[in-house]
Amino acid sequence: MIRTMKKAQGVGIAAPQVGLGKRIFIVAPAPSVRYPRAPKIPPLAMVNPRLLKHSSAIENGWEGCLSIPGIRGIVPRWRSIEIGFIRRDGRKCRARLKGFIARIFQHEFDHINGKVFLDRVKDTRTLVTEQGYRKRVHR
């Protein structure tokens, strides 16, 4: 999964995206052409992740997806979340996430629940090609 994600310059990937019917995803942001301002965090596999709490504040932000290449759109997500998950070594973890990392978690969590970012886009007029996104956002 990590190899597939890195090859596509993604910041996360879920098991269903590679044909696995498991509740597992990886969060692994790093700066790339697709996400030049992403923080660099070592890949973290999250098994059976749970969304425990979320803020009332919602933030709109750009998202793309390795399963829907070449398109980006504005997606509303909770600004901060509290999560639970199991690490690959079997250790149970809880964490509070905010901003971009919270967005990645919610995006990948959607995948293991049968959704993609297009299901969350409120205004389809925000949809742009990857090239249009780079011109608009990465000036």
Q: Which residue has the tokens 């990937």?
A: 13
- Decide if 75 contacts 52 (C-beta within 8 A): no
Element (H or E) spanning 111, and its range? helix 99-112
- Decide if 118 contacts 70 (C-beta within 8 A): no
Residues 6+ apart with CB under 8 A from 114: 16
Q: Which domains does the chain have, with CATH numbers?
A: 2-137 (3.90.45.10)
Q: Which of 59, 63, 82, 108 is catalytic?
A: 108
Q: What is the pTM of this model?
A: 0.94
Active site residue 59: no
Q: Per residue of the chain (139 residues), give pLDDT as tens.
A: 999 998 888 999 999 999 999 999 999 999 988 888 899 999 999 999 999 999 999 999 999 999 999 999 999 999 999 999 999 999 999 999 999 999 999 999 999 999 999 999 999 999 999 999 988 876 5
